[in-house]
Structure 1
Amino acid sequence: MMFKNYSEKALNASRALAILAVTAAPISTAVASVASVLLILVWLGSGRAITTLSMSWQHPLGKIIVVFYGWLLIGAFYADTEWPAKLATLSSWQKLAFTFLLLGLFQSGLWKKRFLYVFVGVMSLAALISLGYWLADVPFIAKRGGPGILMSNHSAQSMAFIAAFLGGLMLLKDNPPKSLHLLLWLGLVLLIFNVFFISTARSAYIAMPVAVTFALVSIYGRRKLPHIVAACSLGFALVIGASGTIHKRFDQAVTEAGQASTDTSSPETPVGARVVFYKTALELVKENPVFGFGTSGFKSAYLAHLEQDHPSWAETSDPHNQYLFVWVENGLIGLLIFLAYIVIGMRAGLAAPPYGLAAASFLLAIAVSSLFNSHFKTFVEGNLLAFFLAILVSKASDRPGPA
């Protein structure tokens, strides 16, 4: 009995640390890292590590994670790179390990709800503080971006607020107490305003409408699809039309794309650089389409290709497109497994309403934003997705979870 009580307390502490880690991820990488390490230590000391891992393995998402990481390991052996580089790339995918671990920890619907209330509450408060700095036209921390950017960077802030917005939608669907109903609506307004009027993350301007539309269709059903698409299209069109920030960022993108040329040695703009990266990555895919260059092989293959055919083109270790990165390193086989992970994750979310719907929608948001970034691998967005997804799609137990 004493061991059982200790074990439950240790698992509850692990869950609390997981909530701290995911909530802190977009704000402080140091706090998130410490919380993640403590999570692992407390979980290992619970005496239930094998049991929870067994639960994780039983989940379809857990199985596809093992398959994908197994292919990454195989790719490391045929990559023409040194082992430090291989280990560094494998480490960048460690978020998948946290997803696997947490699938067996958050069986309780109560803990899922606790997580969402904490996460949505903290992000809504952050959005309120951000609004104050934006109105005052004062940077929170100069190196993090312009006025109103509180998080690690503007992209991290936008994706965190999108996740919180989706979580807030599901909390509202779950009939919250009247005392919280108005606060949740206020939080949603602050979050969506921040994404479109304060933050300068262009990928979020595309990802959020897609994710919110998907979430609403998931809630109200496909029969409402035409009405939801029409309402969302009109609503987001009005928001985008009213946002000077969006106009400025997309005008800048059009200008940068027009100026981009593969003849320049170092494109000076983000969009210009991406044009070069995409073209070069696609050429690499043609060289080794099925198996790729192996885990950690992107940078060396990219540099070798430039030296041989395009010595004036820009260098990079990442094409800023998650799918191209996986295809170049792990081939078509790796890309198909990776896409299967996304599909299975979304299906798992749709099968676990109401909170799983938020996870499925956020996974879609990350999938869309990863057309322009490598958000599955970056620390902030990658960890945010890994924890958010696992907590909300883990199979709920039939019995009440521990308090």
Structure 2
Amino acid sequence: MTVSSFLQTAAKASLVLVFFAFPVSVALANVGLLFTLLFWLLGCVWGTSWRDTRAALSNPVAVPALALFAWIALAALWSPAEGSQIGAALQKYTKFLLLPLFIGLLNDASTRRRCWQGFALAMLLTLVVTWLNVWFDFSWTRTHNQGFGEDHTVFKDYISQGLLMSLFTIMALHHAMNARTRRVRVLAAVIAGLSTFSVLFLSSGRTGYLALLVALLVYAVFAFGRQWRKLLTSIAAVVLLAAATILTSTQLQSRMQQAWQEAQASSIHVPVTSTGSRVEMSRFVLQSSLEKPLQGHGTASYPSLAKGHFTGFGWCAVVCVHPHNQFAFFLFEQGVIGLLLFLWFMAAIARQAWREEVPQRALMLAFLAIMAAANLSHSSFWLSTENHFFILMTALLMAAARPRQPA
């Protein structure tokens, strides 16, 4: 084995480790990323790393990702934040810059397959422990609640677990519909059912409820296309699932009722609540964005400016970190330009999905639905686990992109 091939293999193996690690431990995932970058840099000297990355720049999502990161970096010039805060914010978005590198490393089907397997193994472990936690307590899990109707988060917070498990459910459903053998189809269908129940009944994350149901609906619509009978049956199944969940899940009913009450009572003059804080953050972001609509207030400006607005007791600890909406976050800090670049990034994934065969198209658009749902209620590209999730899965899906057909 030559030095070049060894470095390339080592970089890809490290990236496979990252796909297994990030659902379980961000620290371990970051170690994997460091080794990936190290072997990639060494490969630029002794191997073909740069050639593969340069080829990845032609991928439809590469330019939007690089343009978004460049604008985020440029927006630091007019930010009122301190240098350390700006540096920390730039670090959060660095994976947009690294996306072509990841796509370059995922240029062969065998590496992509191992990455899918690594992610699936981590999520299968999470699913098993989630179900076991209904009856058994584990000292190392996030929650320690036994019984149905309780939150059973394993490694991450319930929002992250709900989002990751939603994609895992779609993956299992995808295999159930496209597997060649009956045994694999049945096994995948059982896993899809268990993971669906996990999100809807063993978690308290409202973002996960929304992401899963929307993703299931999108997948059904694009998986069956003009097969009207199957299409209508699948849509009806998703609607019935949503209705059954609302009617039978006491946890969901409680969370929805709580959200409605908190939204009605929202005010910065009352104690902070989950939904109330989101309402007030949205008001603050929209009002403040009108002051600098085009370029925004600058990278890392939100925490600094939010402190001057949310002065009530307990509010700033919840709302002064990020606005719990990535679209609003980009609008506030990077203005309309930043928001449009982010929408361009998402549109590039959607456009590529239309070029794919029906099964892959449905999978990609369901993933995009999860991304949209997550970023409407959370700042997913600012938070570590969700940042890893959306960037790495974007790279994995887009690395397999079919080339554009000549006109």
Structure-1-length-normalised TM-score: 0.88
Distance 1:98 1:198, change over 3 A: farther
From 290, 294, 299, give the equivalent of 2:298: 294
* 8 Å CA contact 1:86, 1:295 repeated in 2: yes
Name the structure 2 match of 1:259: 265
Cα deviation per residue 1:151-188 (whole Å; 9 max; x = unaligned)? 21111211111121122233334424444333222211
Cα separation, 2, equivalents of 1:54 and 1:208 = 35
Name the structure 1 match of 2:25: 28
Name the structure 2 match of 1:45: 42
Number of residue pairs the alignment of both structures matches: 388
Cα separation, 2, equivalents of 1:323 and 1:396 = 26
* 8 Å CA contact 2:23, 2:123 repeated in 1: no
How many Å apart are 1:377 and its aligned residue? 1.7
Cα deviation per residue 1:108-162 (whole Å; 9 max; x = unaligned)? 23333333233224312321221111234x3654655745211211112111111
Cα separation, 1, equivalents of 2:345 and 2:85 = 24
Name the structure 2 match of 1:131: 131
From 220, 230, 233, give the equivalent of 2:239: 233
Q: Which amino acid aligns with 2:285?
A: A
Name the structure 2 match of 1:379: 384
Alignment of 1:4-403 (within 5 A): 6-46=3-43, 47-136=47-136, 138=137, 141=140, 143-144=142-143, 146-147=145-146, 148-221=152-225, 224=228, 225-264=231-270, 267-304=271-308, 306=309, 311-312=311-312, 314-315=315-316, 316-353=320-357, 354-355=359-360, 357-395=362-400
Q: Which amino acid aligns with 2:267?
A: S
* 8 Å CA contact 2:93, 2:382 repeated in 1: yes
Unaligned runs of 5+ in 1: 399-403
Q: Which amino acid aligns with 2:11?
A: S
* 8 Å CA contact 1:347, 1:360 repeated in 2: no
Q: Which amino acid aligns with 1:320?
A: H
Q: Which amino acid aligns with 1:231?
A: A
Q: Which amino acid aligns with 1:54?
A: R
Cα separation, 2, equivalents of 1:99 and 1:124 = 26
* 8 Å CA contact 1:215, 1:357 repeated in 2: yes
How many Å apart are 1:336 and its aligned residue? 0.8
Cα separation, 1, equivalents of 2:175 and 2:119 = 11
Aligned residues with identical type, % of pairs: 24
How many Å apart are 1:207 and its aligned residue? 1.2
* 8 Å CA contact 2:158, 2:203 repeated in 1: yes
Cα separation, 1, equivalents of 2:239 and 2:120 = 25
Q: Which amino acid aligns with 2:113?
A: K
* 8 Å CA contact 2:17, 2:29 repeated in 1: yes
Cα separation, 2, equivalents of 1:349 and 1:11 = 28
Q: Which amino acid aligns with 2:99?
A: T
Cα separation, 1, equivalents of 2:305 and 2:6 = 49
Name the structure 2 match of 1:401: none
Further displaced range: 102-111 or 67-76: 102-111
Q: CA RMSD in A?
A: 2.4
Unaligned runs of 5+ in 2: 147-151
Cα separation, 1, equivalents of 2:332 and 2:354 = 31
* 8 Å CA contact 2:18, 2:28 repeated in 1: yes
Q: Which amino acid aligns with 2:68?
A: F
How many Å apart are 1:356 and its aligned residue? 6.0
Q: Secondary structure at the match of 2:154?
A: coil
How many Å apart are 1:300 and its aligned residue? 2.2
- Greater RCO (Cα-Cα under 8 Å, separation 6 or more): 1
Distance 1:268 1:142, change over 3 A: farther
Cα separation, 1, equivalents of 2:227 and 2:295 = 42
